[in-house]
Structure 1
Amino acid sequence: MKQLYLDCQSGISGDMTLTALIDLGADIDYIKNQLRQLPIDSFSMDIKQTDKKGISSKELVLDFPDEHEHVRAAEAGHVHSHHHHNHSHTHSDDHTHHHAHRKASTILNMIKESELPSRVKERSRSVFEMIAQAEGKIHGMDPAEVHFHEVGAMDSIIDVIGVCLALENLEIDRIMASPVPTGYGKLRMAHGLYPIPAPATAEILRGIPLADFQVEGELTTPTGAGFVKALALEYGQMPALPMERIGYGAGKKDFEHPNVLRAILFQANDKPESETITVLECQLDDMSGEALGYLMEKAFDKGALDVYFTPITMKKSRPATLITILTKPENVLVFEELLLRETSTFGVRKSQWERSVLHRRFQTIETAYGKMTVKIGYKDDDIYKITPEYEEAKVVAAENNIPLNEVYGNVRKAAKEQICSSD
């Protein structure tokens, strides 16, 4: 199992992460070819070697030919050009981007309908959803309706999906991150002068350990924060494992310190994952079924690992419900608040559990019903589980008027044949 550690001592942004992974060995041609299959503006992507206070690192060079045409037309008086500032990178100079503003729902739908590898889709969507939720909360609007003029510009779409493609190309299974510094001061963005960290960055970083590194300027951007929050499973110091390779990605700004993100590849023992989760519980005998259903829906929306209700009997033989929520330790406060606000309980119990989980990957396979996605649970070279994706199987069962179990059986059979033959 390959494990990545993002060493964010100088902060983290989209372009820094992408270049650090390319420096680590991700194939830039693979990334570009996959991106060019998406319905996005034409672009050129290159990497240049740069020096950041004595550290040789890679810097991203993105160019959009269509944008030059638009600028020339605007200068000739044919088109009214629209100016905005993009803060999803570490550079602070104003940019003139002419890409169509994309709604969060448009970007997420583009990813969903693409031919990108399943895990790339899953990771990309989770990063964009994380950023959209934060922007939506800041601007007081539905996350799906957020217009990504800040993070939806072409370069940010390339950063997010490009990073997820790089992770796939490097076959990264698990991601860890160091505590994150934000920087301080003021930042000029589309809406005016804002404090650092930018409001969206601060919102995303809730629950993430921060590093005490006082530097004036924006060290961590919403996109960088999105990677740390959506993709990392753990935060803290480097694991006690042998390092295989190290990559350095340069930020666009120059500070008194080396403005680089260090990405380190570890080869971890390929055994079932062991991780710590927090279990929250409360019991009550005076909530309606509708209120319980609403609570479960909200808990899953907020990223609960699992939620379940157990029928119990309380004092005076009252029938009651035990509510259990499983969550990552860093999200405990979110769910404590949810239980205290949305239920009639006066207290919440919590405990730490260790759980072992199989490694998981997603794979697209050919079936009698067309291409379908399966989730594979494995340890070492042994496959323990192959599970079709429920939403896809449900559609197939309805369209073909056949039982869901029959779809599951046929998809599993096809998956076993294809996976075994490819091994």
Structure 2
Amino acid sequence: MPCWPWRQGWDAPWLGRPEAVLALLDAPTGLAGNMLLAALLDLGLPQAEIHGPLSALGLAGAYRLELEERRSGGLRGLHLEVLSLEPQPAHRLWGDLRSQLQAAPWPAPLQQRVLEVFGLLAAAEAAVHGHSPEQVHFHEVGALDALVDVVGVCAGLLHFGVEQLVCSPPPAGHGLVATAHGTLPLPAPAVLELARLRAIPLASAEGFPPGELTTPTGLALAACWATRFGHPPTHVPKRVGVGLGSRSLDRPNLLRLTLADHPWAGYAHLEHPAQLETVLVQQAQIDDATAEDLAFLAEELRQAGALEVFSQAIAMKKGRTAQLLTALLAPEQAERLRRVWWRHSTTLGLREHPQTRWVLPRRSRQLATPLGEVRLKQVQLPDGRWRSKPEHDDLAALARQHTLGIDQVRLVVQQALEAQPDANLPS
């Protein structure tokens, strides 16, 4: 493979960076590919990073980027328009475009991302038009501006080493839009299909004038890059890029792309750094169940897959005492646990919302002691040390077996742990 000048330094972000880059995409007035690319250019993306891969695709001289700093609602940002210079724009099937992308002399990460975005667009267009993805025409997923947007955005995010992207739910718009297939309702059918395929939440367009706010290309890019849609995690903003839309609204028409550090960024050198994950929180206030019934419900929730279940005493109206029961769970377990709530509790409703949490690396170990084996729960701290805690059930079993106090057993276990320093080292 030839070493194109625009490839220099591209592979580095994917071969191991000292810190994982967190990107936050705020899209209060919707998403479009040119807006996202403008935000990347506002962050300082060199245009060569866009032109290089497109030139390798055979598109040198086929387009021009018109980039201009403007104001929208009193706020500055960059506005980008992709102008076609092709006298006769090409028209081809998705299968032809896919072969062209697969043959492009690009770094593997760029090729994989671009193919994923266009593949998702083709699947959405095929679904709304009722035919196979192979029959989707070039003007639907491969128009020149879409190629520039998709290749440019993927190249830009790779250039900045983005490994996590959190996107706010974008409003899709309402009314009608003119397309190659005639006048279509909004949200655009392909936008709805993309949201359905990837379970993407769409914000309300209430209060916006009629018109398209989120385009299929913009949403497909977000769908393929975002680790989740929702509120941003705790972070330290480092750089902000602003991309402006073309329409005039009653508010700033923009999106903001923030490159940020999270509070654990300084520990990214560890072999097993803390991981950010999303859990679901389910809660109900219960004032008409016995303590035994609540204990049974909590245990059934744990058996059904809850990561944790806990309760808090609360006071409700008319002075009634009650319990606030909370379950933490993986999002894919939501429906299974809802069935447990409906089956074993008296609640008439269930609150449910996503929440992010940082999780330190954990493992289980067997520790040999003079009294017998004990299971250890171990967690790796940010400085690399491992902290150990013996399983209480094993301590209790040894206390009964040897007719000792549980505090005596715990002391023996601690001495055994100190005598085996490798038990606290990473495996």
Give the TM-score band, short-chain normalised. Answer: 0.5 to 0.7
1:205 counterpart residue number = 195
Partner of residue 218 from structure 2, selected from 208, 224, 232? 224
Cα separation, 1, equivalents of 2:185 and 2:333: 25
CA separation of 1:212/1:34 partners in 2, compared to 1, >3 Å: closer, same or farther?
A: same
Deviation, structure 1 residue 159: 0.4
Partner of residue 24 from structure 1, selected from 17, 25, 43? 43
SS of corresponding position for 1:149: helix
Cα separation, 2, equivalents of 1:332 and 1:36: 47
CA contact 1:277–1:355 (8 Å) conserved in 2: no
Runs of 4+ in 1 over 6 A off after TM superposition: 330-333, 354-358
Cα separation, 2, equivalents of 1:113 and 1:356: 41
1:275 counterpart residue number = 277
Cα separation, 2, equivalents of 1:62 and 1:217: 20
1:400 counterpart residue number = none
1:180 counterpart residue number = 170
1:48 counterpart residue number = 68
Cα separation, 1, equivalents of 2:190 and 2:249: 23
CA separation of 1:149/1:194 partners in 2, compared to 1, >3 Å: closer, same or farther?
A: same
Task: Confirm whether residue 13 of structure 1 aligns to residue 3 of structure 2.
Answer: no
Matches within 5 A, 1:239-318: 239-268=233-262, 269=265, 270=268, 271=273, 273-276=275-278
Partner of residue 131 from structure 1, selected from 121, 131, 136? 121
Deviation, structure 1 residue 145: 2.3
Deviation, structure 1 residue 137: 0.5
The residue identity in structure 1 corresponding to 2:275 is E
Over residues 289-342 of structure 1, what are the superposed CA-to-partner deviations in whole Å (9 max), with x where a residue is unaligned? xxxxxxxxxxxxxxxxxxxxxxxxxxxxxxxxxxxxxxx948999xxxxxxxxx
Task: Confirm whether residue 36 of structure 1 aligns to residue 38 of structure 2.
Answer: no
RMSD over aligned Cα atoms: 2.9
Cα separation, 2, equivalents of 1:23 and 1:64: 22
Matches within 5 A, 1:102-117: 102-117=92-107
Q: Which moved more, 1:141-150 or 1:11-20?
A: 141-150
Over residues 182-212 of structure 1, what are the superposed CA-to-partner deviations in whole Å (9 max), with x where a residue is unaligned? 1111111122221111100111012111212
SS of corresponding position for 1:50: strand
Deviation, structure 1 residue 234: 0.9
CA contact 2:244–2:255 (8 Å) conserved in 1: yes
CA separation of 1:329/1:21 partners in 2, compared to 1, >3 Å: closer, same or farther?
A: farther
Cα separation, 2, equivalents of 1:355 and 1:250: 33
Counting matched residue pairs gives: 263
SS of corresponding position for 1:225: helix
Q: Which has the larger radius of gyration?
A: 2
CA contact 2:174–2:187 (8 Å) conserved in 1: yes
CA contact 2:53–2:106 (8 Å) conserved in 1: yes
CA contact 2:274–2:358 (8 Å) conserved in 1: no
SS of corresponding position for 2:173: coil
1:388 counterpart residue number = none
CA contact 1:104–1:144 (8 Å) conserved in 2: yes
The residue identity in structure 1 corresponding to 2:70 is T
Cα separation, 2, equivalents of 1:200 and 1:331: 29
Cα separation, 2, equivalents of 1:30 and 1:36: 10
CA contact 2:75–2:252 (8 Å) conserved in 1: yes
Deviation, structure 1 residue 54: 0.9
SS of corresponding position for 2:25: strand
- Residue identity (%): 33
The residue identity in structure 2 corresponding to 1:137 is A
Deviation, structure 1 residue 40: 2.9
The residue identity in structure 2 corresponding to 1:131 is L
Higher relative contact order (CA 8 A, sep 6+): 1
2:78 counterpart residue number = 58
Cα separation, 1, equivalents of 2:360 and 2:214: 32
Cα separation, 2, equivalents of 1:224 and 1:185: 19
Deviation, structure 1 residue 6: 0.9
CA contact 2:78–2:243 (8 Å) conserved in 1: yes
Return the TM-score normalized by structure 1: 0.57
